[in-house]
Structure 1
Amino acid sequence: MVVLLLFTGIFLTIRLGFVQITRFGHSIKAILGRYDNPLDPGDVPHYQALTSALSATVGVGNIAGVATAVHYGGPGSVFWLWLTGFIGMATKFTECTLALKYRDVHPDGSVSGGPMYYMEKRLGRAFKWVAIVFAFCAATSALATGNAIQAFTMADSLRADFGIPPWFSGLFSATLVGLVILGGIRRIGRVTSLLVPFMGVLYVGSALVLVFLNIERLPQAIYEICYYAFSPPGVVGGFCGSTFVLTLTWGVKRGLFSNEAGQGSAPIAHAAAKTYEPVREGAVALMEPFVDTVVICFITGLVVVITGAWHEKFEDSVNFAGRSAITIVKEGTTLQTGGKIPSDAFYSGTIEVQQGVPVGAWFVRNHSIVEDVKILVDSRHFDGTIEVKSGTDFRFFDKANKEISSEKMILQGKSLLNG
């Protein structure tokens, strides 16, 4: 699917004569309201149609998605992510132009449109089932990859940083969202026209502050992004075996996830635009990947690279009985591409621990080898042994050979941030 979307974007870019460039100026004029006419059919102006679509794409993909790409694929993935955004502009232009051309205008002046409409109208009634399947998949995707991921990330961050229970943040956000969407596309357009610019400027401004604080590393960061796009480093994300394909794949995947070009969700929002000109709204739509991926995602990637966070390990403490995955491997193990542990590297046997320091084995967490390892029990250095089976089944015994519950055992050390 990723390959299909990428090559479709390349084909459309060439076929439309690099519409990303030729229609860019027209897009800005339309967004600024030069062609707005309140008498045109539709529900929202060009600008509000754009912000309605952007409100669904600017989010987790711009932050965690980019960080994940750099985590696994190295700095070079930022280059491919940026290029994917540029190519995605042509895809977005095409799908949104079609949404306007084949939308339904109802007697009351409201409109309905999207890929399911032009699938049925252009492919014929015999292929109506394709439109139905798309509509079902689009709704499922919106709930799973859109709302669920955004809501979970927000709730988990508020819980971790401020101790706010997930049920409360979920209920609060659901209430606010409900008040907006129950007002239909017009209320969504009005609200997003205020929120999207605010959160975009706030995020980009904050990121640029970090860039300026590390301005002396800017040339080196740009060099790393461009150089490693074609010559990935031997060690990325704490593991060996990074390849050109891995770097390319992570950049493209995160880019497509971020701007949703070709997914079919944005045309539904753009179909509500007040205009008689489908191509004009297509020009407005191509600004989505530009803002979302070419600008915001690139700045995020630049911050990750310029600060060195992509390969920096941080001190952390986790419970052996908690959700954090801990694996014990043989000493000297080299992790494979994607952080995969070789099948013959899982440790089985007994590990001696003296003053909290394990001997003869390594610990893996967040796809990286943990450094400066200390094993603690009740906040004290542990002395005893660890019986290990297949790298993930642990039993702890003190010097008197008395078993200790894993809930009391803590792994302390430096590892990569969770990718």
Structure 2
Amino acid sequence: MIGESSMDKTVSALMRCGVAFALSAVLAAGALGAPAAFAYAAEGNAADTPATGTPAPDAPAPEAPAPDAPSADGDATADGSGGGAASNSPSADDVPAKPAAKVATKVSGLNRTISKKPSGTIKDTIKVSPAGKRTVQLQLYNGAAKKWKTRATFTTNRAGKVTLKYPADWKKKNTTKWRVVVKAADTAKQYVSKTVQVTTYNRSTVKLKAKSAVIMEASTGQVFYAKAPDTKRQNASTTKMMTALLALERNKLSAPVAITKQAATTDYSNLGARAIGDVTTVKNLLYMTLLPSDNGAAEALAIHTAGSEKAFVALMNARAKELGCTHTSFKSPHGLTRKGHGSSARDLAKIARVALKNRTFAKIVNTKSYRFTTSRGNSYTMKTTNKLLGKTAGIRGVKTGYTDAAGHCFVGAFKYKGKTYLTVVLGSPSSDQRWSDTKALLKYVKKYF
């Protein structure tokens, strides 16, 4: 046909409208910065009509696939990720595995209190777990700088064991503070120990004739000088420190005490027969026990406190055990020689350390003289047997002792630069020598503290 039919004109107009619509969509998409999507419509059935490239006028543009999203058929995307349904969540392979939590490091066998002469060496074997080749540091505390400094480094064996060898820094001071640091491993945390205290004693030789001797710092119980400190010996009237301590712990100072015949007739007592049946107080008997070292007064306190000497001696030994006395066995409240009776220099320092915490005890042993009158009017005047009290600066007591078996003994309290040092000498050959021996120990304190 030469001319267009009305149908052909209609189709041609519609097609022109579709092109205009599509161009408008392209221009709009470009203005918004989005990619243009074309939909081509074929005239007739796709099976028998090839696509003409002409966009369908009203067909919606399909959404563009999200960048890097896996294709619907499961093929890997451009970045190599697996196919399947599109998802914003990373796959399990993309999430890094959390590292296993580190376990605590433990150390066994560490000795935290060490006492050594400077002539020796300090070695301490510890075990670290988890085991393996672990790095272990020994650190020394610098008090002036308030810092810890590594002084030695070790490596454990595969079983976790290592022997720590302390550097010689400890030999130059009375006390040094150390700590052990085990460095962290792949599966274990770092470990830092509590403070290890090293005490250096006998830093120099003290010429003594006493058989046993000790210097102990009262606040800590640390021993800084020792000569046969744990040898059990007859200790004479230094025994009365324990007698007085128990009497103070179990009685009121004002409590009346009736003097028994057993107490009044005790060997080496100034009570005498006139005191039998007389009444005085616990306080007066304490002064009489500790200043002139009266045996009858000690016996009277024992009987009053426990009902009998035997019962009181049992209390003495039980209390000594509580105080950590391992070389002490009391057989009387006064210290007269009896088989099996005795103590050590270290144990006597322990007893004095506790007794001096009692204010009444500390006051009595720091007294040079005392006088009291009984209910019958009997008067007793006494002086201390401590010849250093009031003559040697810093001396604050404590107790003398002598028997043929024990020799001359003295437990002293020496106040120096704000601290109290307990000195003990046992078995000095004479009374004068025990004072010389004690003064030699005081010189040691002044030299090193």
Interval containing the TM-score (normalised by the shorter chain): under 0.3
Larger RCO: Structure 1 or Structure 2 (Cα < 8 Å, ≥ 6 residues apart)?
1
* Bigger proportion of residues as helix: 1
TM-score, normalized by length of structure 2?
A: 0.16
Bigger-Rg structure (1/2): 2
